[in-house]
Amino acid sequence: MDRGMIAFWYDLPEKGRDEYFSWLHEVHLPEILAGREELLWAAHYKNAGGGDRFHEVVKDMMRAKEGEVGTGRDYLLLIGAASPHTFFNPNFPQIRERHSGETKEMVGRRIGLNVCVFSEEARVDGPDIGARPLGETPGPYIQMGNFNVANAENSHDLGGWYAQVRLPFMAEMPGCIGARQLLAAAGWGRHSILYEFVSGDARDKKFVPHEEDGLNKSTWTARIHDYVIHAPCSPFVGPRLWPPVAGEA
């Protein structure tokens, strides 16, 4: 079971972007998956923004202070493993030191890099779990948050909300593949959540109205919004670029 994950949020310069994608999707990711059997999958996503209705929900949320964390938000690379300890032997700085040649040049193109290693705290399967066979890459469309809370007491409230409100909703939502609640073993944002959907349309029709509960100040969701502090990349919403989605290759 893939209970560990490393996430890389970053931007890219426009020049040479296609060359980078070809290297990442056709060379680098297949090589590292073939070379380390403890790495179970990799998935690369592009930020699509989330839509105007969603922006109304999140526009006033607190953000990390300038300089606290990398500002990249256009792309998200996820790699899964059985345990977060996989990403500490070797760890990210050690891997970066070993890069040479083409790999060093290509990863050097990433701008505003933000890296977190996560351990899975909880997971629910949605009605469309069949769209992600066990042990395979996350779904074709995701939303992923990465954030801290204002104080220690907020963590109890946040945990209760996920256990009693959000995760039960995801378990019943048509178009939901699943949701994974994550805790950081390394990185700025202690908390993260990964939602998987069969499509952007399914998310927009079913999930965004649920998110809009946060606009009603009498709801538990609104209280959560008052104390979460998001990284610049969060929430990230978008389609999977690699592996290609069936029918879109």
Predicted TM-score of the model (pTM): 0.96
Q: Can you list the domains of the chain with their CATH numbers? A: 4-242 (3.30.70.100)
The residue type at 111: I
The neighbour count for residue 147, using CB atoms within 10 Å, is 23
- For residue range 73-113, list pLDDT tens digits in order: 999 999 999 999 999 999 999 999 999 999 999 999 999 99
Of 113 and 1, more confident: 113
The neighbour count for residue 48, using CB atoms within 10 Å, is 13
Structure tokens, 8 = 């890389």
- E strand or H helix at 93, and its extent? helix 92-98
Residues 201, 232: Cα–Cα separation, whole Å: 24
- For residue range 117-152, list pLDDT tens digits in order: 999 999 999 999 999 876 689 999 999 999 999 999
The per-residue pLDDT for 133 is 75
Task: List beta partners, residue 8.
Answer: 77, 115
Which of 131-135, 153-157, 192-196 comes out lowest in average pLDDT? 131-135
Residues 126, 171: Cα–Cα separation, whole Å: 4
Percent pLDDT > 90 in the chain is: 95
The per-residue pLDDT for 248 is 66
Q: Which residues contact 94 (CB under 8 A, 6 or more apart)?
A: none
190 three-class SS: coil
